[in-house]
Amino acid sequence: MKQIVTILTLFTTVLAMGAEPLEIGSDIQLLWDNSLIESRVNGSFKYHRPIPKEVAITTDASWEGNVSAYFTFLKDGSEYRAYYRGSHYDTQKKVVTHREVTCVAISQDGINWTKPDLRIWDFDGSSNNNIVWDGIGTHCFTPFLDGNPDCPQEERYKAISRGRYVSGNFKVPDRQKGVVGLYMFTSPDGLNWTLKTPEPVITDGAFDSQNLAFWDTVKNKYVCYSRLFVDGVRAIQYCDSPDFLNWSKPVPITYENDYREHLYTNAIQQYPRNPSVYIGLPTRYLPKENSRVEPIFMHSHDGIKFYRNQKPFIPESFPKERSGNRSNYACHGILSLPHNKETYSIYASEAYYSGTDSRVRRFEIRKDGFVSLSTTSQAQLVTKPVIFTGDTLFLNSVTRGNGAVTIDLLDEHDNPIPGFTQLNAHSLQGDSIQNKVVWKEGRTLKELRNKVVKIHITFTDSDIYSLQIK
């Protein structure tokens, strides 16, 4: 124990003296930054990329094409859905060949997708298609399932989209002719949609991108993330609303490291395993690199100020067959699929402006695995004081070789709590998103309920992603 105390005195991060204890409940605590950490020595934050899998959807129908884009993935009950724009560009004549429409694909497993024959909208004399919307806003129609507990059943699906239509060598129907701004839409089933207002309800911005909205379960209001330009640079803005109709004036989101770069098509959402954390996969536009695009990863604790990683989250040539990919956009939404409960599936577009169609590929990433606190030697951290309300401590962690993770519990004055030191607990090894800390003599954290505790973690040759008390 003397060794522990000695090492703690060497921590380079300043202790947060007198900090109010955090009531974390049973929420998963992500170790993606220093927000939970009072002090640490060694170890660094390591960003991770997803693993490429199969091509999930190919936009090969006559009403789709090679510039089909702006995919949104979600789950409704046991069914997975993908919403996207159907559009085609003639690369020889350099013109869009038909009007844009909003389509849907469905799946029971998130891997194998089909296009339902909906018979809702007519296209070229037939309603045998998967088109769900053919009015104002087909350019970047982005639906979501409304989590507002007061939402009426007939509006449990909502969507936002830009009002301006796209012209080409075809006649644009009057029903598609709106003005620049974001319109609101509702639906009882996500298939039959109604334009909520005759005029756009958000007008400050650029919007030529995938804009999105959702019910924020922490803020208890609707939030919207959309595109704007700041001094000619693509940027992301935020606004909110109590009722989905009356919105605050949009403000640009900010960053921990305030360097300027083109970011749009933001793919922001609340993180499923802890909704008080917001993640985004915005597209970085590189005009000096032949207009190449690539998604990056960012996260936030308030939905306005974000930590972002400069490295591409999904490189354009990941895998190699995607090389030269002009539409390397991360799709909105992440899914937990039945074939693997320890990973999330993320989708990204490819093959834009090439061939007769475009594609969406599935990628997998470890749950909580976007960032880890990583070391190849030995590292330590002490959390800020927290109030225990559960019985058991779990870590999402992986060790390599002879690596191990050990736990000590400290009181608010940094004194080891008898019976809960690393001598009283089995070390953690292996790879699990839910490594259970087991105390000797059958002890549980029930003894420490409603007490202020700090968690001291010593880890060697390991990655730690998150912790949870439940």
In this predicted structure, the answer to whether residue 408 has a pLDDT above a threshold of 50 is: yes
C-alpha 166 chain-centroid distance: 29
Measured CA to CA, the distance from residue 218 to residue 166 in angstroms comes to: 37
Which helix (H) or strand (E) element contains residue 6? helix 2-8
What average pLDDT score do residues 393-402 get?
97
- Tens digits of residue pLDDT in 190-206: 999 999 999 999 999 99
- Please name each of the domains of the chain with its CATH number: 2-46+374-469 (2.60.120), 51-366 (2.115.10.20)
State the pairing for strand pair 79-86/69-76: antiparallel
Question: Does the pLDDT value for residue 169 go beyond 90?
Answer: no
Mean pLDDT of 407-436: 96
Region for residue 219 given its phi and psi (left: phi exceeds 0; alpha: psi -120 to 50; beta: otherwise): alpha
**Residue 18's pLDDT is what?**
55
CA dihedral 277, 281, 283, 288 (to 10 degrees): 90
* pTM for the structure as a whole: 0.94
pLDDT tens digit sequence for 347-383: 999 999 888 999 999 999 999 999 999 999 999 999 9
Quick: pLDDT tens for 235-291: 999 999 999 999 999 999 999 988 899 999 999 999 999 999 999 999 999 999 988
